[in-house]
Amino acid sequence: MINNLCNEKGSEATMKHYRLDAGSLLHDTARETGLERYLDEDLEARFHYLIGLFNEFGSIPEPAYPDAVNEVKRLVRIRLKLARDWEEHPEILEETIEQPFFVIGNARAGTTFAQSILTLDEGHRTPCYWDTRNPTPPPGLDPEADAAAHREAQQFIDFLLDKSPGLWPAHPYFDQGGYTEAEDEFLYSIDFNMAYPLHFLKVPTLPQAVPPPDPVQALQFHKTMLKQLQWQMPTRRWVGKGIIHQYLMPALLDVYPDAVCFWMHRPPEEYIASLLELLERQYKPFNGELYRVDPQQLVEQLKAGMEHFMAQPTIDDPRVHHIRFRDFVADPTAVLAPIYEKSGVTFTREYERRIRERVNDPAWRADRHGKFEYSLDKFGLDRNRLRRQFADYCERFEL
């Protein structure tokens, strides 16, 4: 453990600050759980990388340190128990994942709406908070463990919304409790390959998430996790959603060669304003004084990311279907039916009925917990300048 002393803001008193000690956290947790045998060099290397991201971001005030340690150790316990599951039940790894659907696109581009609509089809399933936060023992194996997982997921959502009630209008899907749709990053980051925020809300030095250093390895772990989740709960087709999949497309199509991808596109002046507001509500209550997001820097990062994925051959891959946000919101059926046909998947009348019922149900209105307000002006951004910066993107997808 590394100790630092610094002055409290506005006070002559001093408060101790700490950085996380990767070696102690990992090995202490393994010893406490009796799961040391499931440690290996690659896992340790990924964990040291992960903890390095937190320590580069800053140091943790002493009052917050115990909760931060427990938060990290919780994830370590889960990861080691998963390894035990796969040793005790090797048949889990023999499960097959066939023609999964993946929703792709920047955060705030309508990806969760698309994920929720695609999950309505018969036999479709998406990872949710209850099984993603509590994937071991395997869902469906022990009814009492499943019930406990649902309770924990609801407690987590209650904690999240109590700390940041502004997330209600930003993400109304939380009203589903444990069945709230989870992102693929939530699932594969259990393997210590990225600092996904929902695993670490009690760690004040939580940095912004960046793509994993080894996308193929991360997505192979994701595939293994889908096998874990479906072993005792048979699933005909998985519906995934990733907000950084667009940067990992070659790896995604390598790991899932039969995937069908639904790539959502929204004008930059809309999704960037929405994203900045979301980040403030998602990170600031938990980072506290350590919160720092530079809007101009974020725009440059998004622009660099756009240039990266626009240059990839996978953007024109026949397995990838590009969807304008406004078209999907206006008529999901008209957008999805042709993609189903091209992919050899039957678009049934029952599925069409379910879509129509969902979009016309007032209980599922996007503003059911209040209107999510956001603006470029708040963050010192200009619409016309953004349109110029993302001109190639807007032209390519007619935004």
Confidence bin at 9 (pLDDT 50/70/90): very low
368-392 average pLDDT score: 96
SS (H, E, C) 200-248: CCCCCCCCCCCCCCCHHHHHHHHHHHHHHHHCCCCCCEEEEEECCHHHC
pLDDT tens per residue, range 152-187 = 999 999 999 999 999 999 999 999 999 999 999 999
89-102 average pLDDT score: 98
Q: Is the pLDDT of residue 3 over 50?
A: no
More confident residue, 2 or 30: 30
Distance separating alpha carbons of residues 116 and 264, to the nearest angstrom: 13
Burial 215-249 (b: 16+ CB within 10 A, else e): bebbbbbbbbbbbbbbbeeebebbbbbbbbbbbbb
Confidence bin at 303 (pLDDT 50/70/90): very high
More confident residue, 185 or 7: 185
CATH number for the domain whose boundaries are 96-396: 3.40.50.300
Decide if 175 contacts 368 (C-beta within 8 A). yes
Distance separating alpha carbons of residues 184 and 243, to the nearest angstrom: 8
Q: Is the pLDDT of residue 74 over 80?
A: yes
Q: Is the pLDDT of residue 296 over 70?
A: yes
Query: Which H/E stretch holds residue 15?
Result: strand 14-19
Average model confidence (pLDDT) across the chain: 95
pLDDT tens per residue, range 96-126 = 999 999 999 999 999 999 999 999 999 999 9
46-54 average pLDDT score: 98
pLDDT tens per residue, range 339-373 = 999 999 999 999 999 999 999 999 999 999 999 99
Confidence bin at 14 (pLDDT 50/70/90): confident
| Per-residue confidence (pLDDT) for residue 15, from 0 to 100 | 87
Q: Is the pLDDT of residue 12 over 70?
A: no
Q: Tell me the whole-structure pTM to 2 decimals.
A: 0.95
pLDDT tens per residue, range 210-256 = 999 999 999 999 999 999 999 999 999 999 999 999 999 999 999 99
Closest C-alpha among 290, 294, 231 to residue 89: 231
294-310 average pLDDT score: 95
Q: Is the pLDDT of residue 79 over 80?
A: yes
Q: Is the pLDDT of residue 7 over 50?
A: no
Residue extents of the structural domains in the chain? 1-88, 96-396
Coil, helix or strand for 11? coil
